[in-house]
Amino acid sequence: MSSYGFRRTITGRITCRLEETERSLLANLTHQLVGMVQPDEPDEDQDPLAAMVGIDSDATRPTDPAVGRLFPDAYLDDPTASNDFRRYTERSLRESKLAHARTVLDTLASSGDKITLAEGAAGAWMGTLNDLRLVLGTRLNITDEGHQIPQDLSADDPSFGLHHIYDWLTYLQETLVQAMTGLVSEPPGDFA
């Protein structure tokens, strides 16, 4: 797919080269993520103070397992405490994930084949790449860090391509971590 993942340039910027199809795929996935994390509009009858501080009295455990992976229960052995925690935190968590996704979409929309992350955008990209991997991993029933495409999976299987997309997102996330921590830099000769 991409000619290279994320790199830190000689000037300290974090960049990535993505082909048009890769940018389009990433934008499409991120738009789908926006639909999953978009908070519901507050109920008109909700207490104004509760709405102002982000308490969502209607917050419930998501029925979609992928969305549930993005917003897991805080207390696995105490559903009541978990629901209380969700009421107080889920709206702000959704808003944060939404802001991260919008940063990715804005960056993709304003970039060509070379993406340069604005100051502070790396964290938003990291969050969105992680969320995309969580959703896709849940859909594919991936449960471990050492993901490998099942050997008995046919190229005709609808999930075959999704496994490759999951691996690509993992690659992007790993190279972004390395670029953020200074472990990978721009190859010599590319001073852009």
Domain that holds residue 121: 4-40+92-180
DSSP, res 146 = S
In a domain, residue 150? The reply is yes
Between CA 132 and CA 128 the distance in angstroms is 6
In a domain, residue 115? The reply is yes
Maximum C-alpha span of the chain:
61
Bigger pLDDT: 151 vs 134: 134
- Specify the pLDDT at position 106: 97
Is the distance from CB of 6 to CB of 14 less than 8 angstroms?
yes
> In terms of Cα–Cα distance, which of 162, 163, 96, 159 is closest to 128?
96
- pTM, two decimal places: 0.85
Say how many domains are in the chain.
Answer: 1
In a domain, residue 26? The reply is yes
3-state secondary structure of 106: helix
In a domain, residue 173? The reply is yes
- Is 170 a residue whose pLDDT tops 50? yes
- Is 140 a residue whose pLDDT tops 50? yes
In a domain, residue 86? The reply is no
In a domain, residue 76? The reply is no
pLDDT in tens, 16-43: 999 999 999 999 999 999 999 998 766 6
> In terms of Cα–Cα distance, which of 176, 126, 123 is closest to 14?
176
- Phi and psi at residue 188, in whole multiples of 5°? -55, 145
- Is 191 a residue whose pLDDT tops 50? no
3-state secondary structure of 185: strand
> In terms of Cα–Cα distance, which of 82, 166, 80 is closest to 131?
166
DSSP, res 143 = -
CA atoms within 13 A on the CB side of 175: 18
In a domain, residue 48? The reply is no
Is the distance from CB of 6 to CB of 184 less than 8 angstroms?
yes
Identify the residue whose tokens are 């917050």: 59
In a domain, residue 49? The reply is no
pLDDT in tens, 49-66: 555 555 666 778 889 999
Between CA 138 and CA 64 the distance in angstroms is 10
